Structure 1
Amino acid sequence: MGLPQAEGKGALHIGVVGAGTMGRGIVQLFAQAGHAVSCFDEKPDAGPQGLAAVFSTLESLVAKGRLASGALDDIRRRAKCCTSLGDLAECDVIIEAVVEDIAVKRGLFARLEAIVSDKCVLATNTSSLIVAEIASACRHPERVAGLHFFNPVPLMKVAEVIAAVRTDPSIVATLRAIVEGAGHKAVVVSDQPGFLVNHAGRGLYTEGLRIVEEQVASPSEVDDVLRDGLGFRMGPFELLDLTGLDVSSRVMTSIYEQFQQEPRFRPSSLVPPRVAAGLYGRKTGEGWYRYENGQRVEPARKSIPSLPSRLSVWIDPDAPDFDALAALVRNAAAKQRSHASEAEVCLVQPVGEDATSAAIRLGLEPAKCVAIDPITPFARRRTMMLTVTTASAVRDAAHALLASDGVPVTVIGDSVGFIAQRVIATIVNIAANIAQRAIAEVEDLEAAVRVGLGYPFGPLHWGDRIGAAKILQILNGQMRTTGDPRYRPSPWIARRAALGVSLLTPEASR
């Protein structure tokens, strides 16, 4: 049923309904790709204003030498505003980008079907609604699919093509072709809550919030570790402030409810009181951080204690960073002891275990024990975890020692998996379940998360870098300690860890 792909610029006539931020971006993307684009908005002034904003953006690209002036003239001829929905009657493809309201979208699609030809493809840019529910308002639901772009559309070079239950495969092929023809990566996703990118991104938010709930660390400490230690562009609380907690809270709740209250997506009880108080983030001047004149006010960080003139340290011989820790001890003129009983400070590096359990397992005095995360690169940021009874003098001495070469240190409370281990294991576990359920192909999953979420690596590739066995160890450690089913490991991880194969390994064909 899909459209034949004609060659040459302006091969298709694409309609865009909605001239807001997303609609404008979609108009710009396809007009620049050589298609004729018609834009309609129910608000009389919105369409012309939206198109003017697109042309203004393109004019700035011309001024910067990133777009030829002749190309802009061509785009001006191809892109136009419509004064009525009926002006879209001749379109080959129509992409809806209106308010995220199921009744509004269903009503719009029913109206469009009365106008367009039977061959016209209808696509919704919904980010959280079930595409099949929108399509159910149509006489021909087989021609309806999701086409979810990310803001800003021209720069976020990925789009989700969502196949609803009744969507004809040729429609998916058509949408994939026009997206890739515009220079974006098209990932095909089944019609599940959150689709692919929003689904895969739940782990960063939910586990970050859970860590703060447990008083393991503050929001800024979580952000510091994930941004500086693991290479995220922003930590979860920075991101929540940027997107707006009012918006993000609805998405978190929606995905949790649509997945039948799946514990992996359980929203945090910290969020509703903050939403009620209007602490949305940047747009209200305060969220998890405060903002003045649009700039974040940096919270105070813990000061670095003075290094004791005399200090004796024992390092667990199995510590992955043993040599680096031993070098710190030497350079600080401290004494390294071969027996823990002779040391004032004992350093361990557990995976999937809290500091208290590691101390008990190794027969150490918990009051003298401090754990350091072996997952984050030692030269970028160090996370130092205390047992329940770590003495303040031990805490300060260990902090001073770990910071003695200028690398920043984050001090946190006891927690199975520190911060980085917990968040990465949760992200990998959710991604593995996406692959297990065939919501998307592994290749599409990895590409969409890298581009759509800006993660340093695709989640399954990241799991491989740490090791499937370690990811499983972290998840199982959380399960044992908390009894919370949110941490139950995906069979995708458990089987590949048992076989010693990559998490990127697809299921055998049947």
Structure 2
Amino acid sequence: MAPPLRTIGVVGTGCIGASVCVDYVIHGFRVIAVDTDQTALDDTRRLLRETNRFLPAVRPGLDRLPAATADERLVTTTELTALADCEFVVENISERWEAKRDLYRALDKILPAGTGIGVNTSSIPVGLLAAETTRPERVVGIHFMNPSYLKDAVEVMRGAATSDACLAYVQEMLGRLGKQSVVVGDFPGFVSNRISHLFFNEAIRTVQDQGERPEVVDDIFKKCFGHTMGPLETADLIGLDTVLLTLEYLHDSYRDDRYQACSLLREMVAAGRLGRKSGRGFYEHRGTAAADTTRNAR
């Protein structure tokens, strides 16, 4: 008799959260996905179906799941209380302190004492969120890159209170996803976003101040430096609103004007040009999720 599937909770099924759900399901986990937006939950199921359809091309070595099996492994709901039986929960909501603080307080009441929480944050330190719970030793940062199911490594942020047991658990779990854990310290932006958002901001400023076309800026980094995606393509993928929120948090944290978001980024966000999530950012995004999946696989 096969052992029961391990159950992971995922809170927030926007662009990155949806890909995290898919990553867990295709690697043999059961996922309970929670979001306040039913459309986001429906889009997550659609992404799972389309990714699973192309799975041998997306992740060579993984077999396509029977469609019914994939659907059964993903449970979607708008109720946080559905997470009570999860062995671990990954949080992916908006990069706003008040929203995250309130969520961690709520999760602390719902989850059993032994259940850990993974903070998939762009900039807010793990320790600040862990302090909102009664289980700081079981709170750890897990910065999944987007789309999660195409990435082979994860930035893991160890808070001051994160226990050895929690860190070991997370590394074992991520290993089941075929990922290497790169462990870093706990400070605003961590390694990846403290550096990358300077990169994004300066790329946007080059378009703003020098009038360079986005595709030219991106081609420099793809063709000259071997990057898979250029900085403006990556910013569109992340979401320009998320990039702006992260820059604002980094600026407030470090009091360093290097993180002052340029006016073009602010204007684009105000106009609703958020990147892939809105269909338009620095580029037009008209393709289906399936088309995006197969293109990214290449």
Matched letter for residue 48 of structure 2: V
Equivalent of residue 254 in structure 1, options 249, 259, 262: 249
In 2, Cα distance between equivalents of 1:104 and 1:163: 22
Q: Aligned with 2:102: secondary structure?
A: helix
Structure 1 residue 285: Cα displacement: 8.5
Report which stretch shifted further, 53-62 or 268-277.
Answer: 268-277
Other-structure match for 2:16: 22
Judge conservation of contact 2:119–2:143 (CA < 8 Å) in 1. Answer: yes
Other-structure match for 1:376: none
Q: Within 5 Å, give how 1:55-134 maps onto structure 2.
A: 55-61=49-55, 68=63, 72-82=67-77, 84-134=79-129
- Whether 1:199 aligns to 2:194 is yes
In 2, Cα distance between equivalents of 1:205 and 1:15: 31
Q: Aligned with 2:100: secondary structure?
A: helix
Identity %: 28
When the two chains are superposed, the root-mean-square deviation of aligned CA atoms in Å is 3.8
Structure 1 residue 107: Cα displacement: 1.8
Judge conservation of contact 1:17–1:23 (CA < 8 Å) in 2. Answer: yes
In 1, Cα distance between equivalents of 2:15 and 2:46: 12
Report which stretch shifted further, 184-193 or 236-245.
Answer: 236-245
CA-to-partner distance for each residue in 1:373-410, whole Å, 9 max, x for gaps? xxxxxxxxxxxxxxxxxxxxxxxxxxxxxxxxxxxxxx
Other-structure match for 1:165: 160
In 2, Cα distance between equivalents of 1:93 and 1:273: 36
CA-to-partner distance for each residue in 1:253-283, whole Å, 9 max, x for gaps? 322332232x6x3436554674487394756
Q: Aligned with 1:138: secondary structure?
A: coil
Q: Within 5 Å, give how 1:437-448 maps onto structure 2.
A: none
In 2, Cα distance between equivalents of 1:236 and 1:9: 43
Q: Aligned with 2:160: secondary structure?
A: coil
In 1, Cα distance between equivalents of 2:115 and 2:243: 33
> CA distance change for structure 1 residues 212 and 45 in 2, over 3 Å: closer, same or farther?
closer
Other-structure match for 2:174: 179
Other-structure match for 2:271: 278
Judge conservation of contact 2:15–2:238 (CA < 8 Å) in 1. Answer: no
> CA distance change for structure 1 residues 137 and 185 in 2, over 3 Å: closer, same or farther?
same
Judge conservation of contact 2:204–2:265 (CA < 8 Å) in 1. Answer: no
In 1, Cα distance between equivalents of 2:42 and 2:26: 18
> CA distance change for structure 1 residues 242 and 183 in 2, over 3 Å: closer, same or farther?
closer
Judge conservation of contact 1:106–1:135 (CA < 8 Å) in 2. Answer: no
In 1, Cα distance between equivalents of 2:81 and 2:270: 44
Other-structure match for 2:292: none
Other-structure match for 1:188: 183
> CA distance change for structure 1 residues 285 and 96 in 2, over 3 Å: closer, same or farther?
closer
Structure with the higher fraction of residues in helix conformation: 2
Q: Within 5 Å, give how 1:3-22 maps onto structure 2.
A: 10=4, 12-22=6-16
> CA distance change for structure 1 residues 196 and 11 in 2, over 3 Å: closer, same or farther?
farther
Structure 1 residue 51: Cα displacement: 3.1
Judge conservation of contact 1:93–1:120 (CA < 8 Å) in 2. Answer: yes
Other-structure match for 1:36: 30
Judge conservation of contact 2:138–2:163 (CA < 8 Å) in 1. Answer: yes
Q: Aligned with 1:196: secondary structure?
A: helix
Structure 1 residue 146: Cα displacement: 1.6
Judge conservation of contact 2:197–2:243 (CA < 8 Å) in 1. Answer: no
Other-structure match for 2:138: 143
In 1, Cα distance between equivalents of 2:42 and 2:180: 29
Q: Aligned with 1:89: secondary structure?
A: helix
TM-score for the superposition, normalised by structure 1 = 0.47
Judge conservation of contact 1:20–1:46 (CA < 8 Å) in 2. Answer: yes
- Whether 1:267 aligns to 2:267 is no
Q: Aligned with 2:75: secondary structure?
A: strand
Report which stretch shifted further, 42-51 or 31-40.
Answer: 42-51
In 2, Cα distance between equivalents of 1:201 and 1:65: 26
In 2, Cα distance between equivalents of 1:186 and 1:27: 18
Q: Aligned with 1:128: secondary structure?
A: coil
Judge conservation of contact 1:10–1:35 (CA < 8 Å) in 2. Answer: no
Structure 1 residue 56: Cα displacement: 4.0
Report which stretch shifted further, 229-238 or 250-259.
Answer: 229-238
In 2, Cα distance between equivalents of 1:187 and 1:272: 30
Q: Aligned with 1:177: secondary structure?
A: helix
> CA distance change for structure 1 residues 211 and 177 in 2, over 3 Å: closer, same or farther?
same
Q: Aligned with 1:154: secondary structure?
A: helix
The number of residues matched between the two structures is 284
Judge conservation of contact 1:23–1:97 (CA < 8 Å) in 2. Answer: yes
Structure 1 residue 171: Cα displacement: 0.9
Structure 1 residue 106: Cα displacement: 2.0
Judge conservation of contact 1:159–1:185 (CA < 8 Å) in 2. Answer: yes
